[in-house]
């Protein structure tokens, strides 16, 4: 029997969920990787995503962390997941062309999944990224 906690979703389902999030559409978020308890989201820097000093707004980074954490949990525990909370530590101002949030499940329990996330910024030419924030969060599994 397949429980909510063990049925994993595939990349197409994850892509459909992301496309069904109007806020992710507004920010232009892409699913850049998915599976095996990991999820990678990306979005391009845009003028309307910045703060007053020209860096990516911290709220964009926290959104990306929140969402990548949720998707990574979905990759491990199925669609009935809800982020319970997370912590983010900013490391340096985020400037570049692309923000990437890569989340990886640390432990998937029956009712609770713990996930870590690295946030990196990348130049337009695809050069090496720079770590700009790290996050750690907990996702609740419904019916777990």
C-alpha–C-alpha distance, residues 99 and 101, integer Å:
7
Is 42 a residue that touches a second copy (CB under 8 A)? Answer: no
* Of residues 29 and 33, the one with the C-beta less far from a second copy: 29
Beta-carbon neighbour count of residue 40 at 10 Å?
21
Name 59's bridge partners. none
In the window 118-137, what residues touch a second copy (CB under 8 A)? 131, 134-136
Is 98 a residue that touches a second copy (CB under 8 A)? Answer: no
Is 86 a residue that touches a second copy (CB under 8 A)? Answer: yes
CB contact at 8 A, 80 and 143: yes
Q: What is the 3-class SS of 3-51, one letter each residue?
A: CCCCCCCCHHHHHHHHHCCHHHHHHCCEEEEEECCEEEEEEECCHHHEC
Question: Total residues at the site for a second copy (CB under 8 A)?
Answer: 49
In the window 55-74, what residues touch a second copy (CB under 8 A)? 57-60, 62-67, 70
Is 90 a residue that touches a second copy (CB under 8 A)? Answer: yes
* Of residues 23 and 128, the one with the C-beta less far from a second copy: 23
What's the token pair of residue 124? Answer: 């337009």
Question: 137: which DSSP letter?
Answer: E
Residue 78, helix vs strand vs coil: coil
Least Cβ distance, residue 131 to a second copy (angstroms): 7
Least Cβ distance, residue 30 to a second copy (angstroms): 15
Residues of this chain that interact with a second copy (CB under 8 A) are 17, 20-26, 47-52, 57-60, 62-67, 70, 82-92, 106-107, 109, 111-112, 114, 116, 131, 134-136, 138, 140
């Amino acid at each position: 029997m397949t429980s909510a906690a063990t049925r994993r979703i595939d990349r197409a389902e994850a892509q459909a969920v992301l496309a069904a999030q109007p806020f992710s559409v507004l920010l232009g978020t892409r699913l850049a990787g998915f599976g095996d308890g990991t999820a990678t989201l990306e979005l391009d820097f845009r003028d309307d995503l910045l703060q007053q000093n020209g860096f990516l707004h911290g709220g964009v980074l926290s959104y990306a962390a929140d969402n990548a954490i949720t998707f990574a949990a979905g990759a491990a525990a199925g669609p009935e997941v809800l982020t319970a909370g997370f912590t983010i530590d900013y490391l340096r101002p985020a400037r570049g062309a692309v923000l990437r949030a890569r989340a990886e499940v640390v432990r998937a329990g029956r009712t609770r999944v713990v996930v870590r996330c690295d946030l990196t910024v990348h130049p337009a030419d695809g050069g090496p990224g720079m770590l700009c924030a790290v996050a750690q969060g907990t996702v609740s599994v419904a019916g777990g």
